[in-house]
Amino acid sequence: MNGWLLAAGITASGVAAVHLVGGHRDVVRPLLACGLADEPKRVLHAVWHMVSVDLALSAAFLIHLALADGTSATGLTAWFVAAHFVAYSAVFLVVTLSVGWPKPLLRLPQWILLLPVAALTAAGAA
């Protein structure tokens, strides 16, 4: 068993749970209640659900990799998942820093949840 990947999978499960609960309350409800036209509103709603599925599948896959440690594809696929979470973190950082808000790193703190999954996964892939 790969403890790093297991820690990454458990952390990713927590990230998925925070996304589902917090995101529904803080993002989805206000989005659905806003005056945005129906088509873009529903596209954004669908994208939120796609991210939910992506986070849950990534968590499950990391746990699977942790328990099936030693297969020939473990390292490569773990690096892929690590890159995936680094990319998510980078998107939040770029968007946050480009707005010009005071204390921008705390306005959209999702990167704080995503980056540890990337680091734990990279440690497990090495």
C-alpha pair distances (Å), 7 with each of 1, 10, 45, 60, 122: 11, 5, 30, 12, 11
Tens of pLDDT, residues 47-104: 999 999 999 999 999 999 999 967 778 889 999 999 999 999 999 999 999 998 988 8
- 39, two tokens: 């088509």
pLDDT at position 40 is 94
Angle at 81 between CA 106 and CA 71, to 5 degrees: 150
Tens of pLDDT, residues 104-119: 899 999 999 999 999 9
Q: What are the residue ranges spanned by the domains of the chain?
A: 3-125
Rounded Cα gap, residues 112 and 30, in angstroms: 23
Which percentage of the chain shows pLDDT scores above 70?
Answer: 99
